[in-house]
Chains A and B, each alone.
Chain A
Amino acid sequence: MPRRPALLPALDGFGLFGALVGLLAVAPIAALVALAAGGDGPWRHLFTTVVPAATVDTALLALGVAAFVAVVGTGSAWLVATRDFPGRRLLEVLLLLPLAFPAYVLAYSWLDLLHPIGPLQTALRGLLGYSRPADLRLPDLRSLPGAILVFGFALYPYVHVATRTVFLSRAAGPVEAARMLGARSSRVFFRVALPLARPAVAAGCALAVMETLNDVGAAEFLSVNTLTAAVYSTWINRSDLPGAAQIALAMLIFLLSLLMLERIARGGRGYAVAGRATRRLEPRRVGGARGVALFVVGLMPALFGFLVPALHLVWQAADRLAFAGLAEDIARETRDTVLLAATATALGVAAAAVLVSGRRLHPGSPLHAAAPRIASIGYAVPGTVLAIGLLAVYGAVDAGVRALVVDLGGAPTGLLLSASFAGLVIALCLRFFRLAAAGIETAADRLPVTLDQSARVLGRGRFAVMRAVHLPLLTPAYAGAALLFFVDCMKELPATLLLRPLGFETLSTHLYGEAARGTYENGALAACLIVAFGLLPIVVVTRIGRDAARPRTAPPGLSASPAVGRGAA
């Protein structure tokens, strides 16, 4: 008979594993703090030269991107949610596509497009009759405004998706009421719809800014000296790990204050929770020339954020293939990228599944509730910051193991985690754990808890409940989480760049190398592949959305409870 003292927390397998993952997630942050505090010499140096200028640039970039995505994201969402014009359905899908473009790929494509001897400028010169590039000087994309535009076009979908959900699901009642009270379109938008969507706008902006701060490629290509770039170059160019850690810490503080600001901007209100799917907002029909005009206006973000750069990449890649054939490198890199992403996905999703089930199977246990939260820290931390912290952790582990082995009389061991495949996999797992956990948790919350309790009462232990109940019922959620996780691993650049083994190239690091060398045309194929993989979840999500619109019989997995509530006297 299992006896257990009353006061000890339930430290079973779920608890132990949760504690382990949680410790692993906290370790890089703790190492960062320790490292930054240890390297006391360069503190002042860093703060007088690199950091203040980089902080100003980073802040301006973040502000600019936030403003851009707020306006473009909300505007485009309002357009497709409230106006019905020819091509609206197509536009709904097109406006999501920039999600497939990591900022660094978008920057890469636009830089190539706008290069003085690139297709756009050459065509423009031909049109205007100039012969030499020096005769026609256009504003350079490699500037702060240019970077704001590139990041903005890459990241506006975060706001677009969040606000469109609010407009569609929650705005119908208030908007119709406002119109019945005689409010015109602009008044409806500014006085009713926008305030309703404000939490969603703030949440979307926060995500976009976090992505901006996470980026290491685009900012560098566009010659904006952000804090992330400073962290990266301090480590790569000067091998100054404490210095990098100090800047990383400064950045973390910067990020935390931004999150606080977002909280204040939300005015204490909760996030826009997608409530019960009520009546949908009925869009107003706009036909004729005005309809065409609306379509063209709505097309702009998709045009600059996806269509033009994607077509350019495809064209460049085709050109390259015709000229040089399929390089062996790209095949090997694709294989390595898929292998890395698949390994990290398997481990990350499995860990998330265990922690989510553990929390559910231990209601009221603070340890089990905290584990998935703490393990999610890596998602809030920019990849570069996480990587610097992990560098320190891996270095310490390697040194410790070597000392131990030498003490025991063995030959000194080499690098076990530093610059290893395993170390990189751990980093990706920590970085994207939240992605998997959030998806699985949402699905798990929809399963009645009585299913678990029922299996327990019928004689199954907690692990058996996870296997017999959670596993079969949450498989679709696991798959969905795995897809998102996999694609984000494929696209990941900063942590991969810092932690990869010597000579190990993924598609993203390959692209980064080509861009750093200025050989843009060679990276086009890698860029195409990254975008193609990035399109996968969008395709799946829009298909699911279309299916959900159709009435269907309930899938066997989700019709758990009987007609609750009827006739319950």
Chain B
Amino acid sequence: MSPAALALHDLHHAYGRRAALAGVSLELHPGEIVALLGPSGCGKTTLLRIAAGLERPAAGDVHAGGRRLAGPDLFVEPEDRGIGLVFQDYALFPHLDVAANVGFGLAGRPRAEIRATVADLLDRIGLADRGRSYPHMLSGGEQQRVALARALAPRPAVLLMDEPFSNLDQRLRRGMRAETAALLRASGAAALLVTHDPDDALAVADRIALMRDGVLAQVGTPEEVWHHPVDRGAAAVFADLEELPATVRRGRAETALGGFAAPGVPDGPALVCLHRDAFDLAAVGDFTATVSATRFVGEHRIVRLVVDGLPRPVDTRVDARRPVAIGGRVSVAIDRSRAFVFPPDRPPEDLRHPAAPAPDVSDFRPCRGVAAGAGDGRHHEV
């Protein structure tokens, strides 16, 4: 088996007294895209900088393609690593035009080869005619593409990306995710993408590594981390959760909303976590609820339900064409496969970035009493 494109082994790092990494190990296979997902301050950028050689680990090893790059007795400078890095602010050289930026990492190669490589890359990112432009003349999306092309130009076996989409607006971001993934696949480079946005991770990654407080909480395919979160925090990364106190008896968790399957969970008190889209307004449901507020968000309508037997109201979405009256009684069904049961001794940590919106409920503050149509109709990111 070929050696890992990038192998990080038991990395430790601290800034002053504050530990940033507390024993992180991660391997990237050749050509694989891994997303490092976690809230800001969890240490993911430190991990990236250590892999790039911009930071020296306090302990642990870094290997790339079988070559040792950092360890207690060794430190290879970033320029000698052959690893690409796309910066969050893109860090395009303002005094060089686009072509010179893309060709920067090719210094020393024959001029004709540089010209051909640059032309090819500019063509692939759709900026073939912008080679003589300067970075400040480009839009944010164009700058992002140039930064990506520049990092790919020397054909690195590993590419690191630091929040590559965070400076783009929502609409542009969707397109850039697909474009970036395609470019990465075509280049064959293994990529480690640092992000706090679960949508970035789900859109481009082969595997997702969930990070919090300097350690990896879970590593797996998007399906694995989505369907089988290791704990409440891991589940909360991808969606808002509704929590129900429960008692587990012989593999079944009993709550105010009925029983849920809890295979392997020990008997005793537990917590049932429901994805918010587990609630469905059905003609014939298990429970009844009162609609306390609604908000039109385009394709969907977000409905706030006060479910009988639940301490807090629940937000769920329904088809926008379906009429819902405030104060009306509705029938609610629960998709019990969208529930996770965790033993209660897990610390109730929220892995999700506090400012990262869950899909489609971004302007709805679930925990406060929001009256429908309160005049704040704009769709603002938080």
Is B308 an interface residue when CB atoms closer than 8 A count as contact? no
Kindly list chain A residues whose C-beta atoms are within 8 Å of the C-beta of B287. Answer: none
Contact indicator A472/B89 (Cβ below 8 Å): no
Per-residue B-contact encoding for A1-33, CB less than 8 Å = 1, 0 else: 111111000000000000000000000000000
Q: How far is the CB of B139 from chain A (nearest CB, A)?
A: 9
Contact indicator A566/B79 (Cβ below 8 Å): no
Q: How many interface contacts (CB-CB < 8 Å) are there between A and B?
A: 119
Is A67 an interface residue when CB atoms closer than 8 A count as contact? no
Contact indicator A469/B93 (Cβ below 8 Å): yes
A477 to B96 alpha-carbon distance, docked (Å)? 18
Q: Given contacts A453-B85, A560-B92, are A566 and B134 in contact (CB under 8 A)?
A: no
- Please tell me which one of the listed residues A448, A559, A567 contacts residue B91 in the complex, with CB atoms under 8 A apart: A448
Contact indicator B85/A454 (Cβ below 8 Å): yes
Contact indicator B167/A456 (Cβ below 8 Å): no
Is A48 an interface residue when CB atoms closer than 8 A count as contact? no
Q: How far is the CB of B161 from chain A (nearest CB, A)?
A: 12
Is A563 an interface residue when CB atoms closer than 8 A count as contact? yes
A457 to B80 alpha-carbon distance, docked (Å)? 8
A455 to B78 alpha-carbon distance, docked (Å)? 9
Is B73 an interface residue when CB atoms closer than 8 A count as contact? yes
Is B260 an interface residue when CB atoms closer than 8 A count as contact? no
- Please tell me which one of the listed residues B79, B95, B107 contacts residue A456 in the complex, with CB atoms under 8 A apart: B79
> How big is chain B's contact interface, by range?
35 or more
Contact indicator A450/B91 (Cβ below 8 Å): yes
Interface residues of A in 507-564 (CB under 8 A from B): 554, 556-564
Interface residues of A in 60-86 (CB under 8 A from B): none
Interface residues of B in 62-80 (CB under 8 A from A): 72-80
Is B90 an interface residue when CB atoms closer than 8 A count as contact? yes
Is A46 an interface residue when CB atoms closer than 8 A count as contact? no
Is B154 an interface residue when CB atoms closer than 8 A count as contact? yes
Contact indicator A568/B80 (Cβ below 8 Å): no
Q: Given contacts A456-B54, A458-B154, A460-B79, are A562 and B167 in contact (CB under 8 A)?
A: yes
Q: How far is the CB of A528 from chain B (nearest CB, A)?
A: 40
Kindly list chain A residues whose C-beta atoms are within 8 Å of the C-beta of B107. Answer: 459-460
Is B229 an interface residue when CB atoms closer than 8 A count as contact? no
- Please tell me which one of the listed residues B73, B135, B151 contacts residue A559 in the complex, with CB atoms under 8 A apart: B135
Chain B CB within 10 A, most for which of A453, A468, A567: A567
Per-residue A-contact encoding for B341-382, CB less than 8 Å = 1, 0 else: 000000000000001110000000000000000000000011
Kindly list chain B residues whose C-beta atoms are within 8 Å of the C-beta of A457. Answer: 52-54, 78-79, 81, 83-85, 151
Is A400 an interface residue when CB atoms closer than 8 A count as contact? no
> How big is chain A's contact interface, by range?
35 or more
Is A380 an interface residue when CB atoms closer than 8 A count as contact? no
Contact indicator B197/A453 (Cβ below 8 Å): no
Kindly list chain B residues whose C-beta atoms are within 8 Å of the C-beta of A1. Answer: 76, 80
Contact indicator B74/A3 (Cβ below 8 Å): yes
Is A569 an interface residue when CB atoms closer than 8 A count as contact? yes
Contact indicator B140/A562 (Cβ below 8 Å): yes
A22 to B160 alpha-carbon distance, docked (Å)? 38
Is B182 an interface residue when CB atoms closer than 8 A count as contact? no
Is A451 an interface residue when CB atoms closer than 8 A count as contact? yes
Closest to A461 in B: B79
In the A-B complex, the 9 residue pairs with the smallest Cβ-Cβ separation, listed nearest first, are A458-B105, A450-B91, A559-B136, A454-B91, A456-B78, A457-B85, A450-B87, A567-B169, A472-B95
Q: Contacts A4-B74, A567-B168 given; 20 further ones with Cβ under 8 A?
A: A1-B76, A453-B78, A453-B91, A454-B87, A454-B150, A456-B77, A457-B53, A457-B79, A458-B150, A459-B154, A461-B77, A554-B136, A558-B94, A562-B90, A562-B143, A562-B167, A567-B167, A568-B166, A568-B167, A569-B381
17 A-B residue pairs with CB within 8 Å: A2-B77, A6-B72, A448-B91, A450-B89, A453-B85, A454-B93, A455-B93, A456-B77, A456-B79, A459-B105, A459-B154, A461-B77, A556-B95, A559-B136, A561-B90, A567-B381, A569-B355
